[in-house]
Amino acid sequence: MAEQHLERALGQVEASMEEVHRAVWSLRDESRETRGLAASLEDIGQQLGSCSPSPVEVRTRTSGGPRPFALSVENNLLRIGQEALTNAVKHGKAAHVEVELRYQPHAFELWVSDDGRGFDAGAPAAPGHFGLVGMRERAGEIGARFELRSLPGRGTEVVVKLPLPPLTLRRTG
């Protein structure tokens, strides 16, 4: 009897997580346009963490001077970060997730690391799971390099490195 109640409760938690997942994925681009990539990822992390059965602390940091990206580039970065956050909370069962956006003169880096369960990054994806494949494809679409580091019991780190053209100042007059 207790096992049935536990299964029902876990099913409800899973359904709640799926609902939040759908809500997060349907976030409008206006939010990102008015608040920026870092704030959008922070919001996503907070929403996902708030419906997790265990508390999840999500911290977002930005270093360097933020630069504007083409809409398609920023959207792909947002979706990669969103998937990495979802995986950390849903599959990794992380208690802490760090998101860092590093703006450098000739590159941008998005780091998402967690202290979750981790997994064998060299193993093939489970049938029906396309999150990692999708992140790799999105990175490739924008000319970025996708890196994944994970070990069972050691958490996961997703890194996206995007080369940027140098900023040039125009002379006037």
DSSP-assigned beta bridge partners for residue 60:
99
**Helices 37-50 and 2-25 sit at what angle, rounded to 10 degrees?**
160
122-153 burial: b if 16+ Cβ within 10 Å, else e = eeeeeeeeebbeebbebbeebebebeeebeee
- Does residue 157 contact residue 141 with C-beta atoms inside 8 Å? no
Q: What are the domain boundaries of the chain?
A: 2-163
Structure-token pair, residue 119: 């997994």
Q: What is the dihedral of CA 23, 60, 93, 20, to 10 degrees?
A: -10
The model's pLDDT over 129-146, given as tens digits with 9 standing for 90+, comes to: 788 999 999 999 999 999
pLDDT on residue 63: 96
The model's pLDDT over 18-64, given as tens digits with 9 standing for 90+, comes to: 555 455 545 544 444 557 999 999 999 999 988 888 889 999 999 99
The model's pLDDT over 60-100, given as tens digits with 9 standing for 90+, comes to: 999 999 888 999 999 999 999 999 999 999 999 999 999 99
| Fold classification of 2-163 (topology level) | Heat Shock Protein 90 (3.30.565)
Residue with tokens 């679409």: 141
